């Protein structure tokens, strides 16, 4: 074609075909390494081929499965660790088709992103290919989709598709053979696997840790690395056992945990009773249970709790099958099949609370409240009530990456919930009741004396319902942070939400600012916008703005404590 520089190109629109071609060339050797009887795993054609006869099948039933990795991807992306997530993808698919007794034959992947980073994609797909090789299936093809505007920079999504086969007479589950008294063998998981990560991420967010926190007795692993432990592949180790004729059913403990997956392979008239004291629950589950304050039912319905697969076997064959599995995997006898009584649960898990409690909690090498950490800015938080913003600040400052440490919480009211939150976190508290002082200046002087006692360097006002006096503000100029429930300079004062609704604006928010002598007039550090919805009341709007405050206040404190933001001459802010 004649060369022309005019007009738009596909690359201008955000799709780099050359980058895609480069990726294909880089991953071809990985795919080729997964070749097996039945196919040679060569990439580049419009479709992949598989020869069932060459793979040794005479009367096969094809079995297919598809899955993704869920929000475990968010942790991989935040930790910039992309080499293990491919095994999660493969394992989630091939472990599922094992439930039909099928050998995985070939696998296809789908990788989607907003802008293709060849190095990241290569790392992910290399992990997929390596997992395919371990599982005994060929990486027969895939799709890389670069879709500008669909995903933010640095984010990608994965999906996988596995196809396997089983001879017609060997399919599982064999429902007509399962009877009351059969025993259950649990095969160990490698950890959380790839389910429940939206809950995991929420627990981490509210905990004292982040993904970079060192964990373990020796502190040789971060929390992110622990959570990214790849899902165990069971096909190579369990397939011979499943083909032995001694296994009546196999359940993959995936989304839905123990409670919802075991019944999928049982007759409707039967249930199971498990004893959680019969298997080893990894410490990470005990930590999630404690930090998330999760019920036993929530644990058993969300997580595998240390059991990645469950096999149903005849009582007389249980020990032999268990020995066969234990030659390759950690496994235990964990329960039995029972007749399902009317109104009873399909799955009963006995002693789960005891098992979780008995397990030593995750050893954490991180910030310990109550001891001043060298290099951290010492912060006091002044409160008057429940301390929801205080709680957000406590959680954020406990993280290893925080530049601040809360060394003191002061309340002008006794007995408030905020004080209890501080005490539970091991933070010293003081009650200085303003009603005991004849003037604002004298009350502020008493507060100042306590701040000096604890060598405080920054003050956060978190629901502190007192106006500070001029001398106090002047002494601590550039060192006091306050949060206000509107986008300042609009809607100052005590009734911001009412004023917002009366004005009919469509966007409000919250503002973290330095405190000046004029109320709500100090230099702005951080703001977060919140939409005003049709039908909002003061209460519903306040609830949504409060959620934004819990993000904004810790972010602003981190900016100030790190030195990224400060107040200069004439109250101006400097970055």
Just list the catalytic residues: 484
DSSP bridge partners of 138: 106
Distance, CA of 368 to CA of 371 (rounded, Å): 6
Distance, CA of 161 to CA of 105 (rounded, Å): 11
Query: Is beta strand 183-188 parallel, antiparallel or unpaired with respect to 270-275?
Result: unpaired
DSSP bridge partners of 142: 109
Burial 450-487 (b: 16+ CB within 10 A, else e): ebeebebbbbbbbbbeeebbeebbeebebbbbbbbbbb
Distance, CA of 178 to CA of 472 (rounded, Å): 77
- Taking the alpha carbons of 301, 306, 308, 312 in that order, is the dihedral positive or negative? negative
Q: Do residues 130 and 86 lie in contact, with contact meaning Cβ atoms separated by under 8 Å?
A: yes
How many CB atoms sit inside 10 A of residue 111's CB? 23
Write the DSSP string, 35-57.
-BTTB----SSSS----TTTTT-
Query: Distance between alpha carbon 21 and the CA centroid of its chain, in Å?
Result: 33
Q: Do residues 389 and 409 lie in contact, with contact meaning Cβ atoms separated by under 8 Å?
A: no
Among 117, 189, 109, 187, which Cα is nearest to 152's?
Answer: 117
Distances in Å between the alpha carbon of 283 and those of 190, 257, 263, 544? 11, 17, 26, 35
Distance, CA of 224 to CA of 80 (rounded, Å): 10
Distance, CA of 241 to CA of 260 (rounded, Å): 24
Q: Do residues 496 and 489 lie in contact, with contact meaning Cβ atoms separated by under 8 Å?
A: no
Distance, CA of 427 to CA of 550 (rounded, Å): 19
Distance, CA of 168 to CA of 112 (rounded, Å): 36
Among 12, 10, 14, 17, which Cα is nearest to 147's?
Answer: 14
């Amino acid at each position: 074609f004649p060369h022309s520089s005019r007009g738009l190109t596909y690359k201008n629109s955000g799709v780099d075909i050359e980058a895609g071609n480069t990726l294909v060339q880089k991953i071809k050797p990985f795919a080729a390494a997964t070749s097996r009887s039945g196919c040679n795993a060569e990439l580049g054609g419009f479709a992949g081929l598989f020869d069932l006869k060459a793979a040794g099948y005479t009367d096969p039933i094809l079995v297919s499965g598809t899955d993704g990795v869920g929000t475990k991807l968010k942790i991989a992306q935040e930790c910039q660790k992309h080499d293990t997530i491919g095994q999660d993808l493969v394992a989630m698919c091939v472990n599922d088709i094992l439930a039909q007794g099928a050998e995985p034959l070939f696998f296809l992947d789908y990788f989607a992103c907003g802008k293709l980073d060849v190095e990241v994609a290569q790392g992910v797909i290399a992990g997929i290919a390596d997992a395919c090789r371990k599982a005994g299936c060929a990486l027969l093809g895939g799709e890389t989709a670069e879709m500008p505007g669909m995903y933010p920079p640095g984010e990608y999504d994965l999906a996988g598709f596995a196809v396997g086969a089983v001879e017609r007479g060997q399919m599982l589950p064999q429902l007509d053979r399962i009877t009351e008294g059969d025993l259950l063998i649990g095969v160990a998981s490698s950890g959380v696997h790839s389910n429940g990560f939206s809950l995991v991420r929420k627990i981490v967010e509210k905990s004292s840790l982040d993904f970079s926190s060192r964990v373990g007795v020796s502190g040789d692993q971060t929390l992110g690395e622990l959570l990214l432990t790849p899902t165990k592949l069971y096909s190579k180790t369990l397939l011979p056992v499943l083909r032995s004729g001694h296994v009546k059913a196999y359940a993959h403990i995936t989304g839905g945990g123990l409670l919802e997956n075991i019944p999928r392979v049982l007759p409707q008239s039967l249930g199971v009773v498990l004893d959680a004291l019969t298997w080893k629950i990894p410490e990470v589950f005990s930590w999630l249970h404690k930090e998330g304050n999760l019920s036993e039912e929530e644990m058993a319905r969300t997580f595998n709790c240390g059991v990645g697969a469950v096999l149903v076997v005849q009582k007389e064959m249980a020990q032999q099958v268990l020995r066969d599995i234990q030659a390759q995997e950690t496994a235990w006898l964990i329960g039995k099949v029972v007749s399902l009584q009317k109104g009873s649960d399909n799955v009963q898990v006995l002693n789960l609370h005891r098992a979780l409690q008995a397990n030593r909690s995750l050893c954490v090498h991180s910030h310990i409240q109550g001891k001043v950490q060298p290099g951290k800015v010492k912060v006091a938080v002044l409160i008057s009530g429940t301390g929801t913003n205080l709680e957000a600040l406590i959680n954020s400052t406990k993280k290893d990456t925080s530049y601040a440490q809360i060394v003191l919480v002061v309340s002008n009211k006794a007995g408030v919930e905020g004080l209890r939150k501080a005490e539970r976190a091991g933070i010293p508290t003081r009650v200085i009741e303003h009603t005991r002082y004849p003037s604002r200046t004298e009350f502020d002087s008493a507060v100042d004396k306590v701040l000096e006692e604890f060598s405080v360097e920054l003050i956060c006002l978190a629901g502190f319902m007192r106006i500070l006096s001029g001398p106090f503000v002047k002494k601590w100029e550039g060192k006091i942070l306050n949060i206000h429930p509107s986008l300042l300079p609009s809607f100052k004062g005590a009734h911001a939400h009412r004023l917002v609704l009366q004005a009919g604006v469509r966007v409000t928010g919250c503002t973290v600012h330095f405190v000046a002598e004029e109320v709500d007039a100090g230099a702005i550090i951080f703001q977060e916008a919140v939409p005003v919805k049709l039908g909002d009341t003061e209460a519903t709007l306040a609830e949504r703005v409060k959620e934004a405050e819990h993000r904004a206040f810790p972010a602003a404190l981190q900016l100030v404590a790190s030195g990224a933001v400060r107040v200069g001459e004439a109250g101006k802010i400097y970055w």
